[in-house]
Structure 1
Amino acid sequence: MQGLHLTADLRGVDPALPLLRDAEALFSLCRDVVVASGLSGVAELFHRFGAADEQCGITGVVLLAESHLAVHTWPELGAVTLDVYVCNYGGDNSAKARRLMAQLVAAFGVAEAVMGEIIRGQVG
């Protein structure tokens, strides 16, 4: 069950960026970067909160054969949180996870990113 869990808290994202409010645009980005990173998406769900004319955010999840990608946007705060978790059962997916996270962070054009990395499933 050993794996890698990457997190990113993004601040200073342009509130007008469509990725913060448009669930289809965010889904398209996530789908494309999952494929580009070499990981395998198996299902997804993206939910936009509030009415179409409101400054409401999105929660999205892409289930990966290797584990998951989760994204949460707050357009009113110019903020995004990202989680990429990959299991390394049968092969090390760490480089693919790092590539996926880097592509996502770059797409948001952030002023500030606080990154985290947790090795999961270590025993002893």
Structure 2
Amino acid sequence: MRGLHLTADLRGVDPAQALMTEADALGSACREAVAAAGLQGVAELMHRFGPADGQGGITGVVLLAESHLAVHTWPELGAVTLDVYVCNYGGDNSAKAERLMATLVDLFAPAESNLQQLLRG
């Protein structure tokens, strides 16, 4: 169960970005980032909150063969939280998790970010 758990709290994100309010755009970006990092997505769910005008935030999860990616957007605050956890059973996936997190942070282009990591197990 040894693994690496990365989190990021992003502020100053442009709320007009499609990633902030469009579940399809966020899902596509997450799938591409997961694949580019060398991880294996096995399922996903993106849920948009808020009124029918499409301005609500999104909670999204991508289940990975290696564990998970979670994304939460708050367009009204210009904020995003990211959570990437990989198990290292059978091989060290830490560098892949770090690539995935870096890609996602770059996509949101925040004015400010607070990154943390926790070694699990």
Which residue in the other structure is 1:38 paired with? 38
Partner Cα distance (1:26, 1:94) in 2: 23
* Distance apart, 1:15 and its partner CA: 1.1
Which residue in the other structure is 2:119 paired with? 119
Per-residue deviation, residues 11-52 of structure 1 (Å, max 9, x unmatched): 000011110000000000000000000000000000001223
Which residue in the other structure is 2:98 paired with? 98
- 2:72–2:82 CA contact under 8 A, matched in 1: yes
Q: TM-score, normalised by structure 2?
A: 0.98
Q: TM-score, normalised by structure 1?
A: 0.96
- 2:40–2:64 CA contact under 8 A, matched in 1: yes
Which residue in the other structure is 2:2 paired with? 2
Q: Which amino acid aligns with 1:87?
A: C
Q: Which amino acid aligns with 2:39?
A: L
Which residue in the other structure is 1:56 paired with? 56
Per-residue deviation, residues 42-78 of structure 1 (Å, max 9, x unmatched): 0000000122315310000000000000000000000
DSSP 3-state at the match of 1:16: coil
DSSP 3-state at the match of 1:70: strand
Which residue in the other structure is 2:83 paired with? 83
DSSP 3-state at the match of 1:113: strand
Partner Cα distance (1:15, 1:30) in 2: 18
CA RMSD of superposed structures (Å): 0.7
- 2:21–2:58 CA contact under 8 A, matched in 1: yes
Q: Does 1:70 align with 2:66?
A: no
Give structure 2 stretches of 5+ with no counterpart: none
Aligned residues: 121
* Distance apart, 1:99 and its partner CA: 0.1
Give structure 1 stretches of 5+ with no counterpart: none
Partner Cα distance (2:95, 2:101) in 1: 10
**4+ residue runs of structure 1 moved beyond 2 angstroms?**
none
- 2:7–2:83 CA contact under 8 A, matched in 1: yes
- 2:46–2:61 CA contact under 8 A, matched in 1: yes
